[in-house]
């Protein structure tokens, strides 16, 4: 059963969507606090997010961008806005699809299923291993390996290395890494990140990779 997080401030609309999705064997979860949508997303761990643009506190564009920094979970924008620029902006912020209000619930479910199929296909096609140069990261087992040597990584070490390898050659800010390490409603603190980076470096040195993670002063880290 797919869990769907609904970020819609109109009580009537979100209730209607939630009830309809439940009939189609989805598990709806409704956002109640629009100040912390990112926290609730991390708590709920949904398979897909339905996100309205006109929300209190911050609009859907803001949340789409912020959620995309934290997760690759599919996002469908639902909005009464019909301007092409709004659709383009939503896609540029990381949305996977856009549906205009008023909409048919049948069409909404069809779009959701299409996005979920694409997401599942990508996950199925992605190899269990991520390789950059001679460094390989096992996705399933959280092992880093180099020239036949391997080392086990903690969850945080794995996440840090995964981010750096996915964007190898690019500087990744400390803030971006800390957002990815967010757990139990709190960001990992700055000192803990420093400790995790140091441990990860030592482990990579154990398998023969010295100075592979570079520190860029006041910018972040770079995997070379």
At residue 187 the predicted structure's pLDDT band, cuts being 50, 70 and 90, is very low
pLDDT, averaged across the chain:
83
Give percent of the chain with pLDDT exceeding 70.
89
At residue 175 the predicted structure's pLDDT band, cuts being 50, 70 and 90, is confident
The answer to whether residues 166 and 126 touch, using CB atoms and an 8 Å cutoff, is no
Q: Give the residue from 123, 179, 129 showing the smallest Cα distance to 156.
A: 179
Question: What is the DSSP track for 141-164?
Answer: TTEEEETTEEEE--HHHHHHHHHH
Class of domain 3-125: alpha beta
Q: What are 204's two structure tokens?
A: 């990579």
d(CA 121, CA 201): 34
pLDDT by residue (tens digit) across 62-114? Answer: 998 888 777 778 889 998 877 778 877 887 777 878 888 888 999 999 888 88
Q: Which residues contact 165 (CB under 8 A, 6 or more apart)?
A: 130, 132, 135, 137, 223
At residue 182 the predicted structure's pLDDT band, cuts being 50, 70 and 90, is low
Given a cut of 50, whether residue 211 has pLDDT beyond it is yes
Predicted local distance difference test score (pLDDT) of residue 184: 34
Fold of 129-223: Arc Repressor Mutant, subunit A (1.10.10)
What is the helix (H) or strand (E) element at residue 99, kind and residue range? strand 97-100
Domain range list for the chain: 3-125, 129-223
pLDDT by residue (tens digit) across 17-67? Answer: 999 999 998 999 999 889 989 888 888 889 899 999 999 989 888 998 888
pLDDT by residue (tens digit) across 72-81? Answer: 788 899 988 7
The answer to whether residues 153 and 161 touch, using CB atoms and an 8 Å cutoff, is yes
Given a cut of 90, whether residue 196 has pLDDT beyond it is no
Predicted local distance difference test score (pLDDT) of residue 205: 93
Question: What is the DSSP track for 17-36?
Answer: HHHHHHHTT-EEEE---TT-
């Amino acid at each position: 059963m797919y869990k769907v997080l609904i970020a819609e401030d109109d009580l009537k609309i979100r209730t209607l969507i939630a009830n309809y999705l439940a009939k189609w064997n989805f598990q709806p979860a409704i956002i109640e606090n629009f100040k912390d949508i990112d926290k609730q997303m991390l708590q709920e761990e949904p398979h897909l997010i339905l996100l309205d643009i006109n929300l209190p506190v911050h609009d859907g564009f803001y949340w789409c961008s912020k959620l995309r920094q934290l997760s690759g979970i599919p996002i469908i924008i639902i909005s009464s806005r019909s301007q092409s620029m709004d659709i383009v902006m939503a896609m540029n912020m990381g949305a996977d699809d856009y549906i205009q209000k008023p909409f048919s619930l049948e069409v909404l479910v069809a779009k959701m299923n299409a996005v979920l199929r694409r997401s599942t296909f990508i996950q199925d096609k992605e190899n269990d291993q991520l390789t950059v140069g001679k460094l390989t990261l096992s996705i399933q087992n959280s092992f880093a390996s180099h020239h036949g040597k391997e080392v086990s990584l903690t969850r945080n070490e794995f996440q840090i290395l995964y981010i750096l390898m996915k964007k190898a050659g690019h500087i990744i800010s400390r803030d971006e890494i800390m957002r990815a390490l967010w757990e139990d409603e709190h960001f990992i603190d700055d000192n803990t990140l420093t400790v995790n980076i140091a441990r990860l470096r030592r482990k990579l040195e154990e398998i023969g990779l010295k100075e592979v993670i570079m520190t860029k002063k006041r910018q972040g880290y770079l995997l070379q």
